[in-house]
Structure 1
């Protein structure tokens, strides 16, 4: 089934997406070409490969790649496939090496991707054999506050242009320290049942499900300060990015940054622009999506634990790869200011594991709902009669945000405006009829 065969209802009265978009294998194959090939995709964090020769293996869609730091100290993202017969080169998840040698015919590549050695090369290929044309295929690579992105689309805009005004908000979290960022505990990888877009639209700005799907967590007091009186906004950006931001409702002029050491507050205010500091002060939660498949969740430390730990804000970065229409690979990282104390980082890590780890209460609740949606999405009559609906808060009451920031800022804490934005951009890339 092609996307053009799936009619999407997008008008003044309804915003419906056929359920086949979350279950059909042809749609999934089309996504890999139409969406993932034409986007900057998160690969990892620079601190995962700090020394020459350090590498980690990742995926870009279904393409196996290696993020490696060369002997010259440069970052490369290379297709993990020998240019002779296509064999998978690097089989380990993480390591350090000066070269990658193919286990099939012994071709050897430097950690910058250049072809260094071919057994009996001159004898079998002749004296005019040009190894320089047979290096590992490399993606374009760029970084943003330590986060490494890559794309194989040579015509796509630069990473700064791709992020656009979303960078204003990401820097509120990633730019609080002049020392930069760190991923002190590396990455955590797991797979789960469910279509990748369910996680994307959830993290793009779904505040509607919190009190229902995560009711137990609220009743246990695991949300701490987040459970109080708050105000929030949803923001949309070019290229399909979106976020939801919340803060404690207050008239106070003091710029407090919950979850960060008080002696660091002046530094944070200096690192950020005045409008960024105003936006970030008194923050309770911020989560969003860098289209198509990078998400982040930032929250002050949750309450409910008498464990003597320091208060520490948690910034989790996520990557979700579509292994099929019904299976998703997820990687997540805790990202912290590089120069913050180790006990602060550990407390932030424990918060992440309690709230958003693979078996934490947020993740367990959401993954169970994604699995239940998968269970019914393939049904013929279900798809015909029960499309996915995104009509919540079509008419948002006027609201003046507490800050002057870029993007399309909508004064609504609970809305599906971000989901509508995500699917409009997604459907445009897919070439769907709406």
Structure 2
């Protein structure tokens, strides 16, 4: 039983959060068990593992895992730990192999996780049963339209149930084209000394900080200062004035959406958006026909931030996918991938990759700004008095609007609905007695995900 009262650490009615959730080591250890051991976590995409033997390494919480397409074509995931003494059997970030071999004692495992060879086996072992000593599998691995997720929980919701109505929005990225989406190249990786929850809530819902925190970046790569517009995401020049018309945040417990709904602003920060927008408008009619007007006209091409709890963000329009990997209560790694429909022209893919690098790459001007703030917020409570403070996320609380898609919508992207929903789900998951209890009791279902 936890010594922490999560009902007091998160006050949903007052929109308050205790600062201890960002620095308390024991809370972090409970997060690894309650959240990262039970929720469905993004592992990779089919485009990264096209053939048998293709593999990649990633993390589920702090557990190092191998994701590999076996000789039978099935994708599996395993702990990156030899069944003999626990040494890593894979040190490469990605590649192609028929076997993973431990560098300590030479035990080798095939790409379906079975123990295939043991040095000196006949001479030194009388009781070795290879069938019981394969790599430890991730309990469940499932695929949604090319996106591979895994969970260590043997029971609880399956992936489709876990995604729920969030699938309606994910399909703007995954199902706009009959050919589907792909991740381009390898991810940018950067480790930042901050708590993992802060970059998540920043990416999924903090439209408030953009014109202020990124003011310098806006003038380097953005619309303000280059004569294209007097505003960024509805926020006026010099951070004055705000127009929330045609923008919204949506709670789809346990997930979230933020969108500008204008069909093109996802490309507002590009140096050379012309080819991207030309391709966008060329394919838009087919997307409308495929997914309907809400997704084809309002969401496609807009800056739409999709948050899949706990640690996956997809920013449609900016064309990037980010995963936040915790590295202790005061550090995290962010892995950022460029993405595009498979039928996107190479010229446009090149522009996307360049833009992702400029903004959210390892030296990206937006990633650097956000990293500074997450570090400061995490470590400011090193002193006792500061630890007594609470965070407040009360902006636009109680404001609602009609919306034709699934979820509960609130007007404007300068709004903290998504952040409040993130911490409500964090609380719900930390209190859950089992993986079967991590979803809300009454999920919102205004229409089917195929509507």
Compute the TM-score of the two structures, normalised by the length of structure 1. 0.87
Where 2:261 maps in the other structure, the secondary structure is strand
Structure 2 CA distance for aligned equivalents of residues 20 and 37 of structure 1: 21
5 Å-filtered alignment, 1:256-271, equals: 258=277, 260-271=279-290
Structure 2 CA distance for aligned equivalents of residues 146 and 222 of structure 1: 32
Specify whether residues 73 and 9 from structure 1 end up closer, same or farther in structure 2 by C-alpha distance, changes over 3 A only.
Answer: closer
For the pair 1:374 / 2:378, whether they are aligned, the reply is: yes
RMSD: 2.4
Displacement of 1:381 in angstroms is 0.7
Q: Residue 93 of structure 1 corresponds to which residue in structure 2?
A: 93
Structure 2 CA distance for aligned equivalents of residues 177 and 103 of structure 1: 43
5 Å-filtered alignment, 1:35-434, equals: 35-126=35-126, 129-139=128-138, 140-220=140-220, 222-223=222-223, 226-227=232-233, 231-238=246-253, 240-248=254-262, 258=277, 260-280=279-299, 283-299=301-317, 314-384=318-388, 386-396=389-399, 399-401=401-403, 404-431=404-431
Displacement of 1:274 in angstroms is 4.2
Structure 2 CA distance for aligned equivalents of residues 424 and 265 of structure 1: 36
Query: What is the aligned residue count?
Result: 404
Where 1:422 maps in the other structure, the secondary structure is helix
Displacement of 1:408 in angstroms is 1.7
Specify whether residues 148 and 216 from structure 1 end up closer, same or farther in structure 2 by C-alpha distance, changes over 3 A only.
Answer: same
Unaligned residue ranges in structure 2 (runs of 5+): 235-242, 265-275, 433-451
Do the aligned partners of 1:24 and 1:378 also contact (CA within 8 Å) in 2?
Answer: no
Specify whether residues 135 and 208 from structure 1 end up closer, same or farther in structure 2 by C-alpha distance, changes over 3 A only.
Answer: same
Do the aligned partners of 1:2 and 1:26 also contact (CA within 8 Å) in 2?
Answer: no
Do the aligned partners of 2:6 and 2:427 also contact (CA within 8 Å) in 1?
Answer: no
Displacement of 1:34 in angstroms is 0.8
**CA displacement, residues 37-73 of structure 1 (integer Å, 9 cap, x when unaligned):** 1111111222222222121111111111111111222
Structure 2 CA distance for aligned equivalents of residues 316 and 327 of structure 1: 22
Do the aligned partners of 1:20 and 1:378 also contact (CA within 8 Å) in 2?
Answer: no
Where 2:415 maps in the other structure, the secondary structure is coil
Displacement of 1:418 in angstroms is 1.3
Structure 1 CA distance for aligned equivalents of residues 173 and 417 of structure 2: 23
Do the aligned partners of 1:231 and 1:413 also contact (CA within 8 Å) in 2?
Answer: no
Structure 2 CA distance for aligned equivalents of residues 105 and 392 of structure 1: 57
Specify whether residues 121 and 273 from structure 1 end up closer, same or farther in structure 2 by C-alpha distance, changes over 3 A only.
Answer: farther
Do the aligned partners of 1:2 and 1:27 also contact (CA within 8 Å) in 2?
Answer: no
For the pair 1:3 / 2:23, whether they are aligned, the reply is: no
Structure 2 CA distance for aligned equivalents of residues 431 and 136 of structure 1: 31
Structure 1 CA distance for aligned equivalents of residues 410 and 6 of structure 2: 33
Displacement of 1:143 in angstroms is 2.1
Specify whether residues 421 and 375 from structure 1 end up closer, same or farther in structure 2 by C-alpha distance, changes over 3 A only.
Answer: same
Do the aligned partners of 1:6 and 1:18 also contact (CA within 8 Å) in 2?
Answer: no
Displacement of 1:263 in angstroms is 2.6
Displacement of 1:156 in angstroms is 2.5
Structure 2 CA distance for aligned equivalents of residues 291 and 399 of structure 1: 23
Specify whether residues 174 and 125 from structure 1 end up closer, same or farther in structure 2 by C-alpha distance, changes over 3 A only.
Answer: same
Where 2:185 maps in the other structure, the secondary structure is coil
Displacement of 1:249 in angstroms is 9.5
Do the aligned partners of 1:187 and 1:332 also contact (CA within 8 Å) in 2?
Answer: yes
Displacement of 1:245 in angstroms is 0.9
Structure 2 CA distance for aligned equivalents of residues 41 and 288 of structure 1: 14
Structure 2 CA distance for aligned equivalents of residues 249 and 77 of structure 1: 37
Structure 2 CA distance for aligned equivalents of residues 100 and 9 of structure 1: 44
Do the aligned partners of 2:401 and 2:409 also contact (CA within 8 Å) in 1?
Answer: no
Where 2:72 maps in the other structure, the secondary structure is coil
Displacement of 1:135 in angstroms is 1.1
Unaligned residue ranges in structure 1 (runs of 5+): 251-256, 300-313
